[in-house]
């Protein structure tokens, strides 16, 4: 897909509208996190107590965009101590929401940074945003 084709996708137009409206957003990770409702909470077994399960938001220390289509974005994200998860973010009724997520240990190709820069105008994929937990 060409850069112009990406720019004309409804989900990309929406995210660019949000980016322009909220000038404080300086990276793609923040833009997607702050625009998406129902961010995934994952279940991790405690390393020290195998009987204890921790429920925590999916972290974004390692965040990449795998695919963008008309009305969805697929990302792969995880914290340094979490397993990678693919997250299916849907765009409907002028809102982004998580349709589903699944643990996925297979390394996937991401959309190259230079293409994302041309689509969204950001020089970085992520900044200091580490988690959605505070939102």
pLDDT band at 40 (very low <50, low <70, confident <90, very high): very high
pLDDT band at 130 (very low <50, low <70, confident <90, very high): very low
Does the residue 128 lie in any domain?
no
Q: What is the pTM of this model?
A: 0.81
The range of the structural domain enclosing residue 95 comes to: 3-40+57-120
Domains contained in the chain, number: 1
pLDDT band at 133 (very low <50, low <70, confident <90, very high): very low
Does the residue 125 lie in any domain?
no
pLDDT at 129: 37
Task: Report whether pLDDT(51) > 60.
Answer: yes
Write out pLDDT tens, residues 79-97. Answer: 888 889 999 999 999 999 9
Does the residue 46 lie in any domain?
no
Does the residue 73 lie in any domain?
yes
Does the residue 64 lie in any domain?
yes
Pairwise CA distance, residues 134 & 28, whole Å: 18
Does the residue 63 lie in any domain?
yes
Does the residue 35 lie in any domain?
yes
């Amino acid at each position: 897909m060409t850069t112009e084709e990406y720019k004309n996708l409804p989900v990309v137009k929406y995210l660019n509208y949000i980016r322009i409206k909220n000038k404080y957003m300086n990276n793609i990770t923040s833009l997607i996190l702050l625009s998406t409702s129902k961010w995934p909470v994952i279940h991790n077994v405690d390393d020290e107590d195998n009987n204890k399960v921790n429920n925590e938001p999916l972290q974004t220390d390692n965040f990449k965009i795998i695919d963008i289509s008309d009305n969805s974005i697929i990302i792969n994200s995880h914290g340094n101590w979490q397993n990678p998860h693919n997250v299916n973010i849907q765009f409907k009724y002028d809102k982004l929401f998580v349709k589903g997520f699944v643990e996925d240990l297979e390394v996937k190709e991401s959309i190259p940074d230079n293409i994302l820069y041309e689509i969204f105008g950001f020089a970085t994929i992520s900044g200091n945003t580490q988690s959605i937990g505070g939102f």
